[in-house]
Structure 1
Amino acid sequence: MSIEIKDIIKPENLVYKKSSLITDTPMHYCPGCSHGVANKLVAEVIEEMGIQSDVIGITPVGCAVLLYNYIDIDWQEAAHGRAPALATAIKRLRPDKFVFTYQGDGDLAAIGTAETIHSCNRGENIVIIFINNGIYGMTGGQMAPTTLEGMPTATCPFGRDPERDGNPLKMTEIVATLPGTCYVTRQAVHTAAAVRKTKKAIIKAFENQKQNKGTSFIEIVSTCNSGWKMTPVKANKWMEENMFPFYPLGDLKDE
């Protein structure tokens, strides 16, 4: 006797389904990349809050820019590092809209440092989602501002040397000190429990924007197993053992 999937998966047994906002475009991320999970969470939150027609996302350059292929909402692409500035303009012109940026560490913490800090300092009523994998993922695995001390990359193959390269930049700690930020948190998506916490953080950030509280800043510590030259499983373990001690998870500011 043959059994079809439809006979096994019945509506009353369905506990999870793909968000209707996620398009059928095949994802371009490397297998094991944290971006895919983060993308899924953004889509789920927007759908569950019922704000699909009232949200505008801004993506810059790098792996983060691919997001506009995958979620069916209004998008605006920004020049490298300029997403917070563009989000500021859009939110001020359309205060009725939910506005968020989705940026990698090479974008937000390097060429976009000024835009990030000044937008947060002004308390622009936007959400910033910051993917930190400690490397320039799309362009070949070069050292980023967030690269850990001793961490090898394409441009520091023997590891980051603070005397030569400077120290890793903790952007989340920096923006937490600014008066314009209302919610600053650091999360991850490597386990089911971490995914749930990150989703709650994204929901909270959008709720803060609804209440005009100022800037909400969510860092998601992530893996780049291709750039790190590791399997997905080893990359997650390496992140837990090396990234989390320097970039500890949890809320840094909640007003």
Structure 2
Amino acid sequence: MAEKVFGRPASLVDVPTHYCPGCHHGIIHRLVAEVIDELGVQDSAIGVAPVGCSVLAYDYFNIDMFEAAHGRAPAVATGIKRVHPEAPVFTYQGDGDLAAIGAAEIVHAAARGEKITTIFVNNAIYGMTGGQMAPTSLVGQVTQTSPYGRKAETAGIPIRVSEMLATLDGAAYIERVAVNNPANMAKAKAAIKKAFKMQLEGKGFTMVEVLSTCPTNWGLSAIDAVKWMEANMMPYYPLGVFKTPEEVAK
């Protein structure tokens, strides 16, 4: 009998997803599920998904899941973690959710050092609701609500969430990764695993920002969307670690 070398993680349900072709949510779901499996916490892990493209995440993760109102996942996760302090608790949020209506929740969860992990998917646009400009949309980026491109003088400068949260003492670990190629997927998984482990060690708030594509709302093919992300998003949102426990201790 041939040895099995690859398969679906136990923490993912064996069903098709609703995500558009070329969307990176499926990849990110898998990485999170693999980490949950490898840490042996499937029976205790609790996820929170709010409004956005990942609103149906409870259909895909084979763990306990909660649904939060738009932007409120960090607040819900805070309550869950305080009731179940030994459970690995994570939020799974998009940029329209986390950086706009949920900005206060994520900032104060990080400031308080809540022992939760946030998986922050940044595709620089509102995906589920039709492609409107998000707080992370780039200057000049064309969206449904910025048909002539985002203008800094009226819409402001795109928010670099990882850099912002890294200034808060309660944040223990902040890293930005991407899933545009296999090498970066491996690095993204390592970052997610590190974030979960630090949460379980009681270090404080941890977040992994994952740069992602939105081919449908960007109006590009899946391949061209990856190229656009590499050429436009990655220079403005550089990959790397922005906060570590060593810095917290200083």
Instruction: Using structure 1 for the length normalisation, give the TM-score.
Output: 0.95
Q: 1:135 aligns to what SS in structure 2?
A: coil
Tell me how far apart the structure 2 counterparts of residues 112 and 64 of structure 1 sit (CA, whole Å). Answer: 15
- Runs of 5+ consecutive residues of structure 2 not aligned to the other structure: 246-250
Larger Rg: 1
* Equivalent position of 2:51 in the other structure: 61
Q: 1:131 aligns to what SS in structure 2?
A: strand
Deviations 1:117-137 (A, max 9, x none): 000000000001100000000
Q: Which residue identity does 2:87 align to in structure 1?
A: K
Q: 1:19 aligns to what SS in structure 2?
A: coil
Tell me how far apart the structure 2 counterparts of residues 66 and 39 of structure 1 sit (CA, whole Å). Answer: 12
Tell me how far apart the structure 1 counterparts of residues 176 and 2 of structure 2 sit (CA, whole Å). Answer: 36
1:138 aligns with 2:128: yes
Tell me how far apart the structure 1 counterparts of residues 55 and 203 of structure 2 sit (CA, whole Å). Answer: 27
**Identity over the aligned pairs, expressed in percent?**
54
Deviations 1:133-183 (A, max 9, x none): 000001000000000000000000110001111110111110000000110
- Runs of 5+ consecutive residues of structure 1 not aligned to the other structure: 1-9
* Equivalent position of 1:193 in the other structure: 183
* Equivalent position of 2:37 in the other structure: 47
Tell me how far apart the structure 1 counterparts of residues 161 and 10 of structure 2 sit (CA, whole Å). Answer: 33
Report 1:50-199 matches (<5 A): 50-199=40-189
Q: 2:12 aligns to what SS in structure 1?
A: coil
Deviations 1:38-92 (A, max 9, x none): 0011111111111011110000001122211111100010000000001111101
Q: Is the 8 A contact 2:45 2:88 kept in 1?
A: yes
After TM superposition, the structure 1 stretch with the greater mean CA deviation from structure 2, 64-73 or 237-246, is 64-73
Return structure 1 stretches of 4+ with deviation > 4 angstroms: none
Q: Give 1:26 shift.
A: 1.2
* Equivalent position of 2:228 in the other structure: 238
Tell me how far apart the structure 2 counterparts of residues 209 and 24 of structure 1 sit (CA, whole Å). Answer: 28
Tell me how far apart the structure 1 counterparts of residues 113 and 207 of structure 2 sit (CA, whole Å). Answer: 11
Q: Which residue identity does 2:62 align to in structure 1?
A: D
Q: Give 1:20 shift.
A: 2.1
Q: 2:108 aligns to what SS in structure 1?
A: helix
* Equivalent position of 1:5 in the other structure: none
Q: Give 1:244 shift.
A: 0.3
Tell me how far apart the structure 1 counterparts of residues 116 and 10 of structure 2 sit (CA, whole Å). Answer: 24
Output the aligned Cα RMSD: 0.8
* Equivalent position of 1:16 in the other structure: 6
Tell me how far apart the structure 1 counterparts of residues 14 and 211 of structure 2 sit (CA, whole Å). Answer: 27
Deviations 1:168-211 (A, max 9, x none): 01111100000001100000111100110010011101110111
Q: Is the 8 A contact 2:8 2:14 kept in 1?
A: no
